[in-house]
Amino acid sequence: MVDANALKFNVTRVPVTKNSIDYVLHFSDGRLGKAGIVLFPTHFFDYSNIYEHLLEKGLKPDSTLTFINSFYPNGEFAKEECMRKGAGSAFLELIIKDSADWGSEVLYCSTASKSMASFLQKKGFTWYADERYYNLLTNCICLLK
């Protein structure tokens, strides 16, 4: 687990709607990181192949899914020297904890970024076709212990 205090940042949660949250990381050097999540029932994807795949993994149509719709822990245009310092891991841990608190059963996101794809795979996410990744929350909780 990452020691967020050692990273010298704090996080602000900004509720956007009753089922979405934006997060802002305020770094001591003035940088801002950000992320956003939306929670909704798995059947939101009933038009997609991933819907059937998630049902096969044990989710129900009304299971809550956390969609990570943005994830820029070091800012959108972060320089390489700002990355790989633990902010992304600490940020993801917070998203996992909040998602669990809200009863979500799976984290889902889509990315074309090679560095984000590598990060997700390192964190136990499963690739599922066309730049999509998911992680059942039961798997994610293990990362927090």
Domains of the chain with CATH codes: 4-144 (3.40.630.30)
Handedness of CA 79, 85, 89, 93 (dihedral sign): negative
- Residue-wise pLDDT for 53-97, tens only, equals 899 999 999 999 999 999 988 766 555 555 556 778 888 888 999
- Give pLDDT tens digits for 20-60: 999 998 887 787 889 999 999 989 888 888 888 899 999 99
**pTM attached to this predicted model:** 0.81
CA quadruple 51, 52, 54, 59: dihedral sign: positive
- Do 88 and 74 meet the contact criterion of CB atoms below 8 Å apart? yes
Give SS3 for 17: strand
Can you tell me the distance from the alpha carbon of 30 to that of 70, in angstroms, rounded to the nearest whole number? 20
